[in-house]
Amino acid sequence: MTTLKELKPNQQARIVQISGDDAISMRLMEMGLIEGELIEFIGAAPLGDPLEFSIRGYRLSLRQKEADKVEVEIIP
User: Cα(34)–Cα(18) distance, rounded to whole angstroms?
Assistant: 8
pLDDT tens string 26-45: 999 998 899 999 999 999 99
Domains of the chain: 2-74 (2.30.30.90)
Whether pLDDT at 51 is above 90 = yes
pLDDT of amino acid 58: 93
pLDDT of amino acid 44: 95
pTM for this predicted structure: 0.88
Q: What band does 48 get if pLDDT is binned at 50, 70 and 90?
A: confident
**C-alpha neighbours within 13 Å on the C-beta side of residue 56:** 10
**Torsions phi, psi for 20 (to 5 deg):** 95, 165
pLDDT of amino acid 66: 94
